[in-house]
């Protein structure tokens, strides 16, 4: 595994989580309110963290080129 593979895996993970977040937000009425109020913010925080990590990884790639 190399740093480019890590970058690609992060991009795929972020995309999958963003898709899940969109799905949850579109079916809000069918989700239990407590589940919606806890899982959605946790997923948003997780996506933000992964995006920061992805930024770090992309910076490392630029520095090695």
What is residue 30's predicted lDDT score, i.e. its pLDDT?
80
For residue 24, count CB atoms less than 10 angstroms from its CB and return exposed for 0-12, middle for 13-18, buried for 19 or more. middle
> Which parts of the chain register pLDDT below 50?
none
Query: What pLDDT, on a 0 to 100 scale, did the predictor assign at position 35?
Result: 80
- pLDDT for 32 equals 82
pLDDT of amino acid 3: 94
Burial 36-56 (b: 16+ CB within 10 A, else e): beeebeebeeebeebeeebee
Are 46 and 54 contacting, i.e. CB atoms less than 8 angstroms apart?
no
């Amino acid at each position: 595994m190399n740093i480019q593979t890590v970058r690609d895996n992060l991009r795929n993970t972020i995309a999958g989580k963003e898709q899940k977040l969109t799905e949850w937000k579109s079916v809000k009425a069918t989700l239990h309110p407590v589940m919606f109020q806890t899982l959605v913010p946790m997923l948003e925080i997780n996506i933000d963290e992964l995006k920061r990590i992805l930024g770090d990884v992309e910076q490392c790639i630029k520095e090695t080129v």
